[in-house]
């Protein structure tokens, strides 16, 4: 069972998550969303530092919420990550897009985010599985239309239906943490599981900090590996 942890921001955090059992590390290179800097955005120099420290020790996934394909092309050329994670609101993978990414960065895989908003997600997943190397099934927060970082689960029956319907590896995400990842794996039987919100640090008043709680990361990875045997 592959474990993926978002959103890495420093070399130290990356190495600590690897030591805690993470197989994939996700990060967001600095970028704008609706004209504002994206939360957890990582400066270019730090992205390169993380790549240099972690190559061969973990799979590095670089995410963008951008709807301009050129941003993804630039990301492929600059970083040559193991995976490019496409999660735009209006831009999705296509055969020409994937071909271009692989021309710019041979060996880089392309992962399409699937918004798990209802039964229509199954057809969405089937369509984009034609071109994507991987899919990630993620929740959409009720108060906005963005895929991911929602901190809530969704209908795992739909996840299972997608896993059984496509021929590419599927990672499930959306409100997964140490307390529920085993149940999700048992229900869906995915290729991998992802955690962001539920493995972050929180203040006593419930305020979420934009940094990883390594004890939670370790517990998440251990629970996932045990359930995925």
What percentage of the chain exceeds 70 in pLDDT?
A: 96
CA distance 216 to 34: 31
Residue 109 confidence (pLDDT): 99
C-beta neighbour count of 41 within 10 angstroms: 17
Residue 206 confidence (pLDDT): 79
The answer to which of 30-39, 120-129, 144-153 has the lowest mean pLDDT is: 144-153
Residue 30 has pLDDT above 90, yes or no: no
The answer to which of 34-38, 57-61, 66-70, 212-216 has the lowest mean pLDDT is: 34-38
Count each helix (H run) and each strand (E run) in the chain, helices first: 8, 13
CB 60 within 8 A of CB 51: yes
pLDDT confidence tier of residue 96, bands split at 50, 70 and 90: very high
CA distance 138 to 146: 10
**Crossing angle, helix 44-54 and helix 69-79, to 10 degrees?**
50
Between strands 170-172 and 134-138, the pairing is parallel
In the predicted model, what is the mean pLDDT of residues 31-59? Answer: 89
Residue 39 confidence (pLDDT): 79
Burial per residue of 201-225, b for 16 or more beta-carbon CB atoms within 10 angstroms, e otherwise: eeeeeeeeeeebbbebbbbbbbbbb
Domains defined along the chain, listed by start = 2-227 (3.20.20.70)
CA distance 51 to 60: 7
Residue 36 has pLDDT above 80, yes or no: no
| Contact residues for 93 (Cβ-Cβ < 8 A; gap 6+) | 86, 110, 112, 128, 131, 132
Q: For the chain, what is the largest distance between any 2 Cα atoms, rounded to a whole number of angstroms? A: 48
Residue 148 confidence (pLDDT): 64
Between strands 32-33 and 36-37, the pairing is antiparallel
Q: What is the model's pTM?
A: 0.93
Residue 32 has pLDDT above 70, yes or no: yes
CA distance 142 to 194: 20
What does the pLDDT look like over 59-92, one tens digit per residue?
999 999 888 999 999 999 999 999 999 998 889 9
């Amino acid at each position: 069972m592959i474990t993926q942890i978002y959103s890495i921001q420093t070399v130290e955090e990356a190495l600590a998550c690897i030591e805690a059992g993470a197989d994939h590390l996700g990060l967001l290179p600095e970028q704008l969303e609706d004209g504002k800097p994206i939360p957890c955005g990582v400066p270019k120099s730090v992205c390169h530092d993380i790549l240099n420290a972690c190559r061969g020790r973990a799979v590095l996934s670089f995410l963008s919420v951008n709807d301009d394909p050129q941003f993804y092309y630039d990301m492929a050329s600059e970083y040559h990550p193991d995976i490019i994670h496409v999660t735009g609101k209006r831009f999705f993978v296509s055969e020409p897009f994937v071909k271009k990414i692989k021309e710019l960065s041979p060996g880089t895989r392309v992962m399409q985010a699937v918004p798990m908003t209802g039964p229509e997600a199954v057809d969405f997943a089937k369509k984009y599985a034609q071109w994507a190397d991987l899919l990630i099934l993620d929740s959409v927060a009720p108060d906005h239309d963005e895929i991911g970082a929602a901190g809530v689960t969704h209908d795992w029956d739909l996840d299972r239906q997608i896993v059984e319907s496509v021929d590419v590896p599927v990672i499930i995400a959306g409100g997964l943490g140490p307390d529920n990842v085993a149940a999700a794996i048992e229900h869906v039987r995915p290729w991998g599981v992802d955690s962001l919100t539920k493995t972050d640090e929180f203040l006593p008043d419930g305020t979420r900090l934009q940094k990883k709680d390594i004890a939670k990361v370790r517990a998440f990875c251990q629970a996932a590996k045990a359930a995925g045997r």
